[in-house]
A and B are shown apart, each in its own frame.
Chain A
Amino acid sequence: MSNPPKPALECRDVTVKFGDVTALSDVAVSFAPGQIHAVVGQNGAGKTTFARVAAGLVQPTAGAVDVMGEEIRTGHVSQSRAAGVELVHQSFALPPSFTVAETMEFGATGKGGIYSRRGLAEKWRTHLAGLDVQVDLNRRIRDLPIETQQGIEIARALVMDARVLILDEPTAVLSPSGIDMLFARVRRLKQRGVTVILILHKIREVLGIADTVTVLRGGRKVEGPLPIAEVSAERLANLIVGDAIAKTLDRHERDALVGTKSPVGEGAGHPENATGPSVLSMTAVSTRPDSEGIALDGIDLDIRPGEIVGIAGVEGNGQKTLVRAISALADLASGSIRLAGQDVTGAPLAARRAIGLRIIPFERNVEGLSLTSSLWQNWSARELLQGSLLKVIRPSAVREACDRSLREWSVHYHNSMQKAGSLSGGNAQKVILAREVDSDARLIIAAQPTRGLDIGATAFVWQALRQARDRGAAILLISSDLDELFDISDRVVVMLSGRVNGEFRAPFDIASVGAAMTDAAARTSA
């Protein structure tokens, strides 16, 4: 065509620096209107920063952003919105105590005033129905499933007649069927003429939905936007991972890391190794309700030495409470917990750790490390707690031991006196591994151990967990990434509403695991 339409969104040589860190470097990319564009890359590639620049949340250090051919003032949300760019965040923040109608009214327009419940519901019913969000407008956000919440977030973003809708990692919180629903919704938006930019990190999702794909790596644009027909899964995987790292990974590992195809986990599974008596044995464990998450409801779970058991489930279905219950940080209402043959139901965490419980907690920077304390203090905490509090220590000796251990785990750091907060996510996680994965570990809980890590660090963590498993440790892996679970688990247990809703062995079937994640009726055991 001689006169191509103006791009819906164009970034011209955008650079973003946060202090010394360059998050985006000379990124130039333009997205054609009316299509579904995917932006992919590993963690730390700059995807979210890109989205935030387009939405006006981040002021680029250099470069310009055009919407529909018009340059906008960067770094102002109001300017981006006025131009028709809306962003749906990775972790969306709807007010939990608001009803759907209230959320739409006050979240979308930001205006207050006197209103009636019925009036609001009338006002927003058509809008939500038009976007195929089926929901009672008088229900409160906190009572809604996560897929519906996401639908409302999208509807909220579309109130202002958005022409470009950016969704940041929308699939990360969804079950497989939830992802299908989201993609159907995105296709309908396309039909309405909205340009949709999806930030994704799984190749199979990209191939399933997008018209074009753009790959970022280390803050730079590697390629794109490429028409999806012209790119193979193989090529895309190498573009995302980078040639240097691609060489160090075996093909199977790489496919799991970038989500190339439907995961089955045929490479995993050493059930023949896992024959000893259970290391962890939970019998009918229920917890008392508390403010930190939904309670467990009659959990039975056994893990044998030399076995990795993965916990699948949409976030917020009791995974956190499960970890807290095993760690003596949640109150049990009934049931019993045995660790390496000993009844530890009433025992404190210190006693459980003495038996060999190790925890890589969910929140690396809160539960795992004290960011303002030095590395050696963080590293030594577990050992120091095993003796008397008045035990005399020689800090220089502890620091030497810490240095040896951190080098063994190939942590990149200057010296052990530096603050834990000065490390990158991958290195911080390695410090936790160095502390928690020792030769006395009998049961290792790994809760979202690779969240936020780049591909190299993720592969490192997987390797560490496998090695611990092969040494005979039992491993409980909690992850919301099915590729990760299927790749390294020997068994997968699905949690739903604080219960076990199905147990699967390799080769895993994503459809039936997905069904167990969302549907209580699909209680099966394969």
Chain B
Amino acid sequence: MKDSLLTVVRSLIFVAFALVLCALVFQFAGYNAPTMLWAVADGAFLRSGAIEQSLRWALPLFITAVGVGISFRAGFFNIGAQGQFYVGAICAAFAAEAFKGGPAFLVIPALIIAGMLGGALWALWPGLLRLRSGTDEVITTLMGNFMAGLLLVYVTSGPLKDPSGSGQQASSRPLDAAYRISDSLGLSPTIIGIAVAVGILMWLLVNRTAFGVLASLAGRNGTMVEWQGARLWKLGLSSFVISGALAGLAGTIEFMGPNGRIASGFLPAHGFTAILIALVANLNVVGTAAAAVFFGGLASAALYLPIMAGLPAAAIDIINAAIALFITARSKLVDKVLRLGGRPS
């Protein structure tokens, strides 16, 4: 257990580094850095109602990030969470049209399943390409994001277009209130329940099943598990599909919960933030929950900054980018310092 504690401490150190770097950037840009960081903390967690706002962002991010973690553990770099998130939302929206008028207790689960299938489908084809012909999944999933983004533009201005809509952003017809799983604030027992269930199930899958152990071995050394008789495609493809289904679930939650409709280009950074969360948490499910709350806080602060502190919302992008930088460049040095005086090697 020492190792997982170490991981948490290490991630916190990286985040601290990133915040210091951001403070320097803000200072040089002419803002007062301490005020700025305080405003971020205030907007994320301190002011009244901030925690609820942060959780609204954290829960869908958590669900997507857990999925990303599952595929990364198995050695498949699915960076297409954004596209899977969109396709999940789109499929749920189509299902909502199809099942219109049905009883809520049937329609709501049906929409959720449709959304998960959509996300899974958007992960399935890059997974198959990788396993059948060795196509790099980083490229295909990345391309898949753009394709899904364009698909979203098409459906919101075509088949699902809301004729009464008049904004700059094309969007779908609103979901019947009976099928909504939260109000526009986006925090409801249903959503919390879904997130908790996902967390528990995925924790069990990773830590308490043969699949979890073998997928982790396969992610670190695929050759070794092949010599043990494992079929890599089974481990890899199922990890891929699970991660897609969870991203699709998050998209469905955004559609059925706070948004109540899908709009072209909505939440364009969701999938990438989720990848960042998974990496900060070192692909650990419990760590992902903690990291999701942190990044949920940042997302919520981004809305608050311009109004309350007169700062650009892009400040949050800078913080995200700085954290990404430090996490991907995780250094041996920090590991060494952490292990000083630790157990014998």
Binding site for B on A (CB under 8 A): 20, 327, 329, 348-350, 352-353, 359, 361, 363, 366-373, 377-378, 380-382, 384-385, 387-395, 414, 417, 422
Whole-angstrom CA separation of A387 from B213 in the bound complex: 13
Tell me if B221 and A395 are in contact (CB < 8 A): no
Residue of B nearest to A384 (CB): B210
Q: With A and B bound together, what is the CA distance between A394 and B204 in angstroms?
A: 11
Judged by a CB distance under 8 angstroms, whether B164 is at the interface is no
B220:A373 contact, CB within 8 angstroms: yes
Q: For the complex, what is the distance from the CA of A510 to the CA of B227, rounded to whole Å?
A: 33
User: Contacts A20-B345, A390-B209, A391-B210: A385 and B224 contacting too (C-beta < 8 A)?
Assistant: no
CB closest chain-A residue, reference B208:
A392
14 A-B contact pairs sorted by A residue (CB < 8 Å): A327-B227, A329-B226, A350-B231, A366-B223, A371-B221, A384-B213, A384-B214, A389-B234, A392-B208, A393-B213, A394-B208, A395-B213, A414-B344, A417-B3
Contacts A350-B229, A382-B228, A391-B209 known; 5 new A-B pairs at CB < 8 A: A361-B227, A388-B210, A389-B235, A392-B209, A395-B208
A368 to B235, CA, bound (A): 19
- A350 vs chain B, min Cβ distance (A): 4
B240 to chain A, nearest CB (A): 15
The closest CB in chain A to the CB of B222 belongs to A370
Smallest CB separation, A395 vs chain B (Å): 7
Q: Does B209 contact A385, Cβ atoms closer than 8 Å?
A: no
Interface contact B209-A373, CB-CB below 8 Å = no
CB distance from B266 to the nearest CB of A (A): 35
Out of B208, B216, B227, B238, which one reaches A368, CB within 8 Å?
B227
Partner of B224, one of A350, A366, A414: A366
> Which chain B residues lie closer than 8 Å to A389 at the CB level?
209-211, 214, 234-235, 238
Chain B residues, CB < 8 A from A387: 210
Whether a CB of chain A sits under 8 angstroms from the CB of B230 is yes
Bound-complex Cα distance A378 to B224 (A): 9
B207 on interface, CB distance cutoff 8 Å: yes
A294 to chain B, nearest CB (A): 20
If A367-B224, A373-B216 touch, does A385 touch B230 (CB 8 Å cutoff)?
Answer: yes
Across chains A and B, which 10 residue pairs bring their CB atoms closest together, nearest first?
Answer: A370-B221, A350-B229, A349-B229, A384-B210, A389-B211, A353-B229, A367-B227, A381-B228, A370-B220, A391-B210
Which residues of chain A come closer than 8 Å to B226, judged between CB atoms?
Answer: 329, 349
Q: Is the CB of B220 within 8 A of A348?
A: no
Within 8 A of A (CB), among B234-266: 234-235, 238
Task: Report if B225 contacts A (CB, 8 A).
Answer: yes
CB distance from B286 to the nearest CB of A (A): 15
Residues of B within 8 A of A361 (CB): 227
Are A348 and B229 in contact (CB-based, < 8 A)? yes
Contact indicator B217/A373 (Cβ below 8 Å)? yes
Asked if A368 and B224 sit within 8 Å, CB to CB, the answer is yes
A377 & B216 in contact (Cβ 8 Å cutoff):
yes
- Evaluate contact between B217 and A370: CB separation under 8 angstroms: yes
A residues less than 8 Å from B213 (CB atoms):
377, 380-381, 384, 393, 395
In the complex, which residues of chain B have a beta carbon less than 8 angstroms from the beta carbon of A370?
217, 220-221, 224-225
Chain B proximity of A377: nearest CB distance (Å)? 5
Which A residues lie within 8 Å of B345 (CB)?
20, 422
Residues of B within 8 A of A369 (CB): 221, 224
* CB-based nearest A residue for B226: A329
A-side contacts of B225, CB under 8 Å: 370, 381, 385
> Which residue of the partner chain A has the closest CB to B1?
A417
What separation, in Å, do the CA atoms of A331 and B344 have in the docked complex?
A: 46
Report yes or no: A381 in contact with B221, Cβ–Cβ below 8 A. no
Assembly CA distance A79 to B229 (angstroms): 50
A201 to chain B, nearest CB (A): 28
Would you give the shortest CB distance from A99 to chain B, in whole angstroms?
Answer: 32
Distance to closest chain B CB from A96 (angstroms): 22
CA of A377 to CA of B228, assembled, Å: 12
B235: which A residues are within 8 A, CB to CB? 389
Give the nearest-CB partner of B227 in chain A: A367
Residues on B with C-beta less than 8 A from A352 are 229
Among A359, A373, A390, A414, which residue has its beta carbon within 8 angstroms of that of B210?
A390
A392: B residues at CB distance < 8 A: 204, 208-209
For residue B224, which residues in chain A have a CB less than 8 angstroms away from its CB? 366-370, 378, 381
Residues of B within 8 A of A372 (CB): 220-221
A427 to B234, CA, bound (A): 31
Measured between alpha carbons, how far is A348 from B229 in the docked complex, in Å? 7
Interchain nearest-CB distance for B228 vs A (Å): 5
Give the nearest-CB partner of B214 in chain A.
A384
How far does the Cβ of B230 sit from chain A's closest Cβ, in whole Å? 6
Among the interface residues A372, A384, A388, A395, which one has the most CB atoms of the partner chain B within 10 A? A384
Question: Which B residues are CB-close (under 8 A) to A368?
Answer: 224, 227
C-alpha gap A372/B222 in the complex (Å): 12
- A381 and B209 contacting across the interface, CB-CB below 8 Å: no
CA distance A392 to B204 in the complex (A): 9
Is B231 a contact of A393 with CB atoms below 8 Å? Answer: no
Give min CB distance, A327 to chain B, whole Å: 7
Residue of A nearest to B225 (CB): A381
B residues 9-62 near A (Cβ < 8 Å) are none
Closest Cβ–Cβ distance, residue A433 to chain B (whole Å): 15
Residues of B within 8 A of A394 (CB): 208
CA distance A327 to B225 in the complex (A): 13
Chain B residues whose C-beta falls within 8 Å of the C-beta of A395 in the assembled complex: 207-208, 213
- Nearest chain A CB to B234's CB is how many angstroms away? 7
Q: Which of B209, B217, B229, B343 contacts A377 (CB 8 A)?
A: B217
Give Cα A393–Cα B3 distance, bound, in whole angstroms.
Answer: 21
> With the chains together, A247 CA to B215 CA distance in Å?
46
Residue in chain B with minimal CB distance to A323 = B227
**Are A385 and B229 within 8 A (Cβ)?**
yes
- Residues on A with C-beta less than 8 A from B230 are 350, 381, 385
For A380, give the chain B residue with the smallest CB separation.
Answer: B213
Chain B contacts of A371 at CB under 8 A? 220-221
CA distance A395 to B223 in the complex (A): 23
Complex interface: chain B residues within 8 A of A422 (CB): 345
Given A370-B224, A390-B209, A414-B344, A378–B231 Cβ distance below 8 Å? no
Residues of chain A within 8 A of B227, CB atoms compared: 327, 329, 349, 359, 361, 367-368
Taken together as a complex, chains A and B put the C-alpha atoms of A210 and B235 apart, in Å, by 55
Asked if B210 and A393 sit within 8 Å, CB to CB, the answer is: yes
A370 CA / B223 CA spacing, docked (Å)? 9
Bound-state CA distance A395–B234 (Å) is 22
B210 in contact with A378 (CB, 8 Å)? no
Contacts of B238 in A (CB 8 A): 389
What is the bound-complex CA distance between A393 and B207, given in angstroms? Answer: 8
Once the chains bind, are B223 and A393 in contact (CB under 8 Å)? no
Q: What chain B residues lie within 8 Å of A414 (beta carbons)?
A: 343-344
Roughly how many angstroms separate A220 CA and B85 CA in the complex, as a whole number? 62
Q: Which residues of A sit under 8 angstroms from B228, Cβ to Cβ?
A: 349, 353, 381-382, 385
A348, B234: Cα distance in complex, Å: 13
By beta carbon, the residue of chain B nearest A354 is B229
Interface string of B186-217 (1 = CB under 8 A from A): 00000000000000000010011111011011
- Nearest-neighbour CB distance to chain A for B200, whole angstroms, equals 14
**Most A Cβ at <10 Å: residue of B204, B220, B224, B226:** B224
Q: A398 → chain B, closest Cβ, in Å?
A: 8
Q: Taking CB as reference atom, which chain B residue is nearest A349?
A: B229
Please give, as numbers and ranges, the residues of chain B lying within 8 Å of A329 by CB-CB distance: 226-227
Please report the C-alpha to C-alpha distance between residue A384 and residue B345 in the assembled complex, in whole angstroms. 28
Q: Per-position contact with A for B111-127: 1 when CB-CB < 8 Å, else 0?
A: 00000000000000000
Q: Which residue of B lies closest to A422 (CB)?
A: B345
